[in-house]
A and B are shown apart, each in its own frame.
Chain A
């Protein structure tokens, strides 16, 4: 459980709730009644510092920094139960994705996540498909009678990653090293 946070009213980011809610699909944030159904059905509820309903409450209260640095936004298996069960149709699953996007923008990315993106940037796949690994995979596939892999044009994938803005995040992360 998280420690109690003491904060002056002046230090709250009261705009935070609108920053989230203005995104298409996230307006539902404002409808939360704090019933806690999301947290009671949540599969990771016992592992997070802020349970789903408390993340929502913190967003509404303007505790931007606390939310974006919590482990709660990364400790989620995206099972969608919260969104499905919410009686007010708050799309917590999507709001969490937005919060992850915001944290990523500030460079607050767990390295296990950024390394996955880097692998895809380098290979086009989530499993490395170069050199030794490639040889291994090709040999195994041949043995199983599976057709050869036709990999994507990496220029296309990298172009998309760079062009849409994700590339900046990876570079930013590398600058931090």
Chain B
């Protein structure tokens, strides 16, 4: 549901997408890096080298993939010895890593490469009253020395600026730059702990009065969306009313504002599609779209 919105919005913005055929898992930073740093480096370098062959920057819509690809790219470009070791391994499968194409996050492409004016030029419809809880997530910001935001990680605004191009209002809420809870293998290993983070974050957002949550990472997306069901379940007694805040991915929000068909943004769920987002109904969001944009 998210991928279809990424593809269609990028195409709407005049981007030609080349798929990284034969790419594998990034690999997952929480698990692979945790086990064995060298393996993490080589598999990530292999993925980046596929983009190098095509002569393009690898672009991802996921904070986790971004974390791995960007960190590995940075490490290898700053440590020639390490790069040599990685290339020794890659040579055995007939590949080479050069490091001349920097991995990017789509939000980075929107903000730094295209720029706000370019995005604004594509906006057809403006929201008149939509309060958004923007969730950055961790790895788009940190480690800050390996990110393109000039070291800012405690109170950046780039994502809010993108969201507000649509006329929506980004609402400040407590601990806005907090982790969703899913990363590092936490979601799979200690789900209750992950859900407890999510509970706190959802509570803060609800207290601030948000209509929807907007994120830029599929793993945060899953944690904030499917996680609401888990929080409603695990922490029934603590939260009062169960949570049901629609969770919308950045390109889905931009897409409706650009006038892209909601079908092409993964906003209309086919009943045959079980086990994919949205888990929490996004109907309230779609009603707002209908009322304010159409």
Contacts and interface: CB of A to CB of B under 8 A. Distances in A.
Interface of A: 24, 43-44, 47, 74-81, 83-84, 93, 97-98, 100-101, 104, 109-110, 112-114, 116-117, 120, 124-126, 140, 143-147, 150-153, 155-157, 159-161, 163-166, 169
B197 A160 contact: no
Q: Which 7 A-B pairs have the closest CB atoms?
A: A80-B142, A150-B21, A79-B179, A100-B34, A78-B184, A166-B39, A152-B24
Nearest to B85: A164
Given A144-B266, A160-B46, A47 B23 contact: no
- Most-contacted residue by chain B among A43, A97, A140, A163 (CB, 10 A): A43
Nearest to B3: A146
Contacts of B272: 143
Contacts of A101: 34-37
Interface stretch (B25-33, B102-110, B123-131, B244-252): B25-33
Contacts of B197: 43, 77
Contacts of A153: 22, 93
Contact of A43 (B39, B179, B188): B179
B276 interface: yes
- Most-contacted residue by chain A among B27, B32, B276 (CB, 10 A): B27
B287 interface: no
Contacts of A144: 1, 3-4, 266
A116 B4 contact: no
B22 A143 contact: no
A44 B183 CA distance: 12
B262 interface: no
A146 B193 CA distance: 35
B190 A47 contact: yes
B25 A126 contact: yes
A159 B184 contact: no
B7 interface: yes
B261 to A, nearest CB: 11
B179 A104 contact: no
Contacts of A104: 34-36
B9 interface: no
Interface residues of B, number: 61
Contact of A74 (B185, B273, B276): B185
B162 interface: no
14 contacts: A83-B142, A104-B36, A112-B188, A112-B189, A113-B34, A116-B188, A120-B25, A126-B27, A145-B264, A152-B24, A159-B92, A159-B93, A165-B36, A169-B36
A15 to B, nearest CB: 21
Contacts of B178: 43, 79
A150 B19 contact: yes
B288 interface: no
Contacts of A145: 4, 264
Given A74-B185, A77-B179, A152 B23 contact: yes
B165 interface: no
- Most-contacted residue by chain A among B34, B79, B138, B194 (CB, 10 A): B34
B156 interface: no
Nearest to A151: B22
Nearest to B144: A84
A157 to B, nearest CB: 5
Contacts of B1: 144
Given A84-B153, A152-B22, 14 more contacts: A77-B184, A78-B29, A78-B139, A80-B142, A84-B143, A84-B154, A101-B37, A104-B34, A117-B32, A120-B32, A156-B93, A159-B92, A165-B38, A166-B38
B19 A147 contact: yes
Interface string B59-74: 0000000010000000
Nearest to B37: A101
Nearest to B189: A112
Nearest to A78: B184
B25 A166 contact: no
A85 to B, nearest CB: 9
